[in-house]
Each structure stands twice: as C-alpha cells, then as structure tokens.
C-alpha cells in the first residue's frame, strides 16, 4: 500500500466543497477567538447542569443535568457528526477551562511512552458504559452532575501535568467516540494544495507560528495531537480545533468535503497515527464502539431484565454489578472474539488472503465502524427526537425554582416527535450504516484478495448482517424512555 496520504477512494475532477470559503463563514473560521466564542456558551450550560444536578429536583425528567446530558446532548452530537464532522470537540468546554489553567500552570511532562495508544481510552469508554447501567445515570441528576465535575477535574489533572493535548488524544472517552464516528463524516480538516505544503519551509501547522528572532516565542500553537497536515489522512484524532488553520502562513488548510467513510477503505501511514492495520489498540476501540452500541441499546429493552434475572440466579448474587460484568464480557469480549475470529479465519482460508488471522481481524474491524455509528444514531436519535421538546419545561422549572416567572409555568406536556416518524428514521440510520460497512468491507476485500474478493467479502458481510439484524430486533423491543416522563 502506498504511503501517500491521498485517498484513492476519492477521485473527482471537481474541487471539493470548502466550508471555510462559504461567504460569511470564512472570516468567522479564521477569527482567532472563534473556538472560545463557541466554548463559552457550552461552559455556561455545563455549570448550570452541574448546579441543577446537585441542588435541583431529584426527579431526572425535571432536571437539566439528566435531560440535557442523556436526551439532548447525545442526540445532537451524533447528528452533527453525521451531517458535518467533529464540531463538538471544536466547541468543547473542557478545553476552555484547561486553556485558562495553562496560563498559570505550564505542564512540563511528556505523556508516558507506554500509554501512547488507545488502550486506556478504550477501557474508560467501557467504564462509562458500565457506570451508565450500574448507577442508572440517566435517572440520577446527582451522579450525572458529579460525572461532569469529574470530567473537568480529569482534564485539569492530565493536561496540567502533561504537555500537548494528552487528554484529548489518549484519555477522553467522548473524544474517542467522536474520532471514530467522524471517520464517516462528510467534512475533514485538510490541506487544499499539497504543492504549497511541499514548498513550505516552516511547517507552522505542526510546529506553531513563532515571533521574530531572537525570542522565537510561539504566538500560535500548531497541532497538539501531532497531526502533520500534509501527511494527515482523515479525521481520526482530529478535534477540529483549527489551530493548524490559524498557524498556516499560506492559508492552505480548509474544511473540505469528502466521501464519508472513504478513509476506512485505505491503509496508508497516517501522521500521528501510523497504519490502521498495525494498531491493535485502535481496532479494540473500534470493537468497543461497534459492539458497545448494541450493549448500550440492549440495556434499555425489556428482555435484558429477564437475562439479568437469569444470570443473578446462576451466580447467586443480588448485586447488579457482577451480572453487568458478565454481560459486558459476553458482548464486548466473547462475542467479538468469536465473530471476528471466524470471519478472519474464513477470509484467510476461503478468500486466499496472505495475512494471518489477527492482522486480518484488525484490518476488517474498521469496516464495522459505519454500522456501529448507524446503531448509535438509531439509539441516540430515538431519545433525542422523542424527548426533543422536554428541554422547554425543564428550563422553565429550573428558572421558576429561582423565583423567576418570566418563562411561565412548566409545560410538562411538551414531549417530542411521534414514534411513527422516529422509527422510520431509526431504520434509515441502520440501513445507512449497513450500506456504509458493506461498501468499506468490499473495498478492503478487493485490495486484500484480488483473485477472490467476494470470498473475502462474504464472511465480513455476514458479520455486518448479523449485527444489523440484532440492532433491528432491539429497535422493535419495548424500550425504556430514559430521562423523560414517558419512562416505565
């Protein structure tokens, strides 16, 4: 495979659409304080959520912490990722607090070499999913508020000690979710003209822009996630922070359109990442992302209670944690190992691939990411759309609790979009994800087994079809309306 960063899956004589060249948006994106402008409102909302979670109503559907976190934020996040890209990381309020703190405390340590991978963040991703079920976070404003506080404190601790964007790249579970989901987004931060980069002698996009001699002080930092723009491929590890845009002296970086998921079909050496096929840790994160979507949805349908009761009787326990541990191990370790192992073995034997089973499993695992994202979309959009208007009465109630009545009495009858509209959208998201995975896997099979591409394709298509069928089955099960008054 070529080391060139260009994506052979995207070939067009037409220039890509550049969001940063849209009239009215160009100056906004080039404004040095644009990110701060987006972060401040989200920081204010975060503080309000924390306060309401700690001191407001204990009933989750009446509290801003639970309603905004588990109903609105997650749904808005995946829809923005689907339609545009990783713009939440651009507006991340945690980074605003961290940037302010770094004005007073400069980190001096480098992130440990042995932790420069995704194993820690994958484990934290699983831990978040586990705690969500164990502590019923959707129904606990208090726990939700402390989770947000914990996030802020962790950011300050990690990036207060370690240089660059160590928290974003190696720790943040939300960031890892966004990185993987944005591989199927239609927009990418990318150089406009590779020839301009070839003539550039300063490489400010990675090194940062410096003042004139003798001081050479960095006046605009470059990419803190070690993504050198001329060799950057896709959205993995990109927070859309636009530091590279502001640092580039040639205005040669834009937010360009591309074919969604095309970066998953190729395996070049990527700046700051390496080859996907050589990253077992990244493949493990993709497994958690894809199979975790099923696990998270399974936790809110009626059949899960029968399974949990059955396991509790077998284990002779009354505590929920051991039962959840068994379920998580079965769905996030045993099931992926069996399905991916059998598919990789079939691809090697029947498809004639020259790769060993483990490298095959690592390579093709990325093909499940579009389907995994489709499952997250179907799940989170369900909560978001069916509870779309609940933010109105919850906000009215929070304001009224302060003695202010200008918003009127809470309209608790405001709910959301009817299920007759939401369910077809869910099916559409799942079908879209399946088609994306099948397309990516087919391209991988063509590259991996030129003589028998269909033989290499079929085992992984079968895995995708099985996951798709499981997601559809879950969607038609009686489902908890977590975080709204329709619960129960």
In tens digits, the chain (488 residues) has pLDDT values of 444 444 444 455 678 999 999 998 989 999 989 999 999 999 999 999 999 999 999 999 999 999 999 999 999 999 999 999 999 999 999 999 999 999 998 999 999 999 999 999 999 999 999 999 999 999 999 999 999 999 999 999 999 999 999 999 999 999 999 999 999 999 999 999 999 999 999 899 999 888 766 666 778 899 999 999 999 999 999 999 999 999 999 999 999 999 999 999 999 999 999 999 999 999 999 999 999 999 999 988 888 888 999 999 999 999 999 999 999 999 999 999 999 999 999 999 988 888 899 999 999 999 999 999 999 999 999 999 999 999 999 999 999 999 998 899 999 999 999 999 999 999 999 999 999 999 999 999 999 888 889 999 999 999 999 999 999 999 888 777 666 654 43
Reference 358, options 370, 340, 372; nearest CA is 340
Distances (CA, A) of 46 to 40, 147, 460: 10, 11, 41
Whether 344 contacts 326, CB under 8 Å: no
Separation of CA 217 from chain center: 34
Separation of CA 456 from chain center: 29
Reference 8, options 274, 268, 277; nearest CA is 268
Rounded Cα distance, 411 and 330, in Å:
43
Rounded Cα distance, 204 and 182, in Å:
25
**How would you classify residue 483: left for phi > 0, otherwise alpha for psi between -120 and 50, otherwise beta?**
left
| Sign for the pseudo-dihedral over CA of 395, 398, 403, 409 | positive
Q: How many residues does the chain have?
A: 488
* Residue 4 pLDDT: 46
* Residue 13 pLDDT: 63
Rounded Cα distance, 328 and 380, in Å:
20
Measured between its terminal Cα atoms, the distance across the chain in Å is: 53
**How would you classify residue 251: left for phi > 0, otherwise alpha for psi between -120 and 50, otherwise beta?**
left
Reference 236, options 193, 289, 198, 199; nearest CA is 289
Beta strands 209-210 and 253-257 are unpaired
pTM over 0.75: yes
* Residue 481 pLDDT: 65
């Amino acid at each position: 495979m070529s080391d060139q960063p260009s994506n052979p899956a995207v070939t067009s004589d037409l220039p890509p659409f550049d969001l940063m060249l849209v009239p009215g948006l160009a100056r906004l994106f080039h404004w040095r304080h644009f990110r701060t402008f987006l972060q401040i409102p989200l920081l204010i909302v975060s503080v309000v959520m924390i306060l309401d979670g700690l001191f407001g109503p204990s009933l989750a559907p009446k509290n801003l912490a639970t309603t905004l976190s588990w109903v609105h934020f997650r749904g808005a996040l995946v829809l923005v990722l689907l339609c545009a890209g990783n713009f939440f990381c651009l507006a991340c309020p945690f980074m605003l607090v961290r940037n302010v703190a770094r004005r007073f405390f400069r980190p001096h340590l480098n992130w440990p070499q042995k932790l420069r991978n995704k194993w820690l963040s994958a484990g934290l991703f699983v831990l978040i999913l586990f705690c969500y079920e164990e502590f019923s976070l959707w129904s606990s404003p208090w726990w939700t508020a402390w989770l947000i506080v914990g996030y802020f404190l962790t950011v300050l601790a990690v990036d207060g000690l370690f240089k660059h964007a160590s928290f974003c790249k190696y720790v943040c579970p939300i960031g890892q979710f966004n990185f993987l989901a944005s591989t199927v987004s239609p927009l990418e931060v990318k150089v406009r003209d590779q020839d301009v980069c070839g003539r550039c002698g300063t490489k400010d996009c990675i090194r940062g822009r410096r003042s004139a001699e003798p001081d050479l002080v960095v006046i605009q930092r470059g990419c803190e996630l070690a993504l050198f723009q001329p060799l950057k491929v896709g959205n993995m590890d990109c927070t859309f922070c636009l530091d590279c845009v502001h640092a580039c002296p040639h205005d040669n970086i834009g937010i360009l359109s591309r074919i969604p998921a095309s970066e998953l079909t190729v395996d070049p050496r990527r700046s700051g990442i390496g080859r996907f096929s050589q990253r077992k840790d990244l493949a493990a994160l993709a497994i958690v992302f894809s199979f975790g979507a099923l696990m998270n949805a399974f936790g809110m349908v009626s059949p899960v209670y029968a399974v949990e009761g059955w396991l509790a009787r077998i284990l002779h326990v009354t505590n929920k944690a051991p039962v959840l541990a068994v379920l998580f191990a079965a769905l996030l370790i045993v099931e992926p190992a069996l399905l991916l192992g059998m598919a990789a073995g079939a691809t090697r034997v029947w498809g004639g691939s020259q790769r060993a089973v483990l490298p095959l499993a690592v390579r093709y695992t990325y093909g499940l990411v579009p389907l995994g994202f489709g499952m997250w979309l179907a799940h989170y959009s369900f909560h978001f759309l069916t509870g779309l208007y609940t933010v109105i009465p919850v906000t009215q109630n929070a304001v009224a609790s302060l003695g202010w009545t200008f918003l009127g009495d809470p309209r608790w009858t405001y709910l959301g979009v009817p299920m007759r509209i939401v369910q077809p959208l869910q099916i559409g998201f799942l079908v879209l994800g399946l088609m994306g995975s099948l397309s990516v896997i087919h391209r991988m099979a063509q590259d991996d087994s030129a003589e028998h591409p269909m033989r290499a394709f079929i085992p992984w298509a079968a895995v995708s079809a099985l996951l798709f069928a499981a997601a559809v089955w879950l969607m038609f099960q009686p489902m908890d309306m977590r975080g709204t008054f329709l619960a129960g």
